[in-house]
């Protein structure tokens, strides 16, 4: 799995009746034993040129991402939101933005992200800090509380693990966590993964969503070229794709 897609927060959980396979590139919160805490929200995505079954210039795609005022504004908004979230659990004056709109280069997509860090309050445990910052600001957007209230009111069914958080507690006392994007949840003979950007109605979003999917489903299927054909061409492409995912999990 990791050989095909070396996501920084790749993880697998097998709990018997259900499994989670995650190839998330996004850190939610990391906390060191000395109290240093930081978060790295991602906002801004562009497909890599070679990731699609279409001719596309990689550098042109990257430049389009960097020139996008929309992507820039969204990341700045989320950076400020996470800075505020950290401020609630950190010592006064310790919170600072250490990286702003840095590039993340992955096999199938480009991302832009920020890094915000601080010093954890002495009366705060790592678990308390993470719980107080949930859900991840890069998922909810801003205003965070109001967005969550609206979602709770209109959503008919909960979406399981998708865009939740996976947390690892290490023996040295450090804690790390990821945002559960590009993740698959399998329960017996069913497998689920979310790809909201696939349906936002623009070609830009469609390409970026598809590029993310290529890296995800190619791990449990027959490679990204196979999946390009399944998603774009042929009758019942999505059905065939999900059937193959289920076969690989069962």
Report the distance separating Cα 120 and Cα 41, nearest Å. 18
Catalytic-labelled residue, pool 4, 8, 26, 225: 26
Burial class (CB in 10 A: 0-12, 13-18, 19+), 183: buried
CA–CA distance, 197 with 223 (Å, rounded to integer) = 22
User: What are the two backbone dihedrals, phi and then psi, of residue 176, each rounded to the nearest 5 degrees?
Assistant: -135, 150
56 is catalytic: no
Contact 37, 90 (CB under 8 A): yes
Dist CA 19 CA 23 (whole Å): 13
Give the active site residue among 4, 8, 43, 99.
Answer: 43
**Number of other CB atoms surrounding residue 219 within 10 Å:** 23
Backbone angles phi, psi at 42, to 5 degrees: -105, 130
Q: Which residues in 60-97 are b (16+ Cβ under 10 Å) and which e?
A: ebbeebeebeebbebbeebbebbbebbeebbeeebbee
**Does 235 participate in catalysis according to the annotation?**
no
Q: Which residues are catalytic?
A: 26, 43
């Amino acid at each position: 799995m990791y050989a095909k897609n070396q996501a920084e927060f790749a993880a697998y959980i097998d709990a018997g009746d259900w499994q989670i396979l995650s190839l998330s590139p996004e850190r939610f919160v990391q906390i060191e034993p000395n109290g240093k805490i930081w978060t790295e929200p991602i906002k801004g995505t562009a497909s890599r040129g070679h990731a699609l079954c279409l001719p596309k210039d990689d550098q042109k795609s990257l430049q389009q991402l960097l020139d996008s005022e929309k992507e820039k504004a969204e990341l700045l908004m989320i950076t400020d939101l996470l800075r505020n979230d950290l401020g609630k659990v950190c010592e006064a004056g310790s919170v600072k933005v250490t990286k702003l709109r840095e590039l993340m280069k992955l096999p199938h997509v480009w991302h832009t992200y920020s890094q915000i860090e601080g010093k954890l309050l002495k009366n705060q445990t790592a678990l308390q800090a993470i719980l107080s910052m949930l859900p991840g600001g890069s998922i909810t957007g801003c205003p965070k509380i109001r967005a969550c209230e609206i979602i709770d009111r209109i959503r008919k069914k909960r979406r399981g693990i998708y865009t939740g958080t996976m947390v690892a507690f290490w023996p040295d006392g450090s804690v790390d966590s990821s945002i559960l994007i590009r993740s698959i949840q399998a329960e017996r003979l069913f497998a689920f993964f979310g790809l909201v950007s696939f349906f936002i109605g623009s070609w830009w979003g469609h390409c970026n969503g598809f590029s993310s999917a290529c890296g995800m489903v190619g791990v449990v299927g027959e490679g990204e070229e196979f999946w390009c054909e399944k998603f774009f061409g042929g009758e019942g492409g999505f059905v065939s794709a999900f059937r193959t995912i289920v076969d690989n999990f069962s």
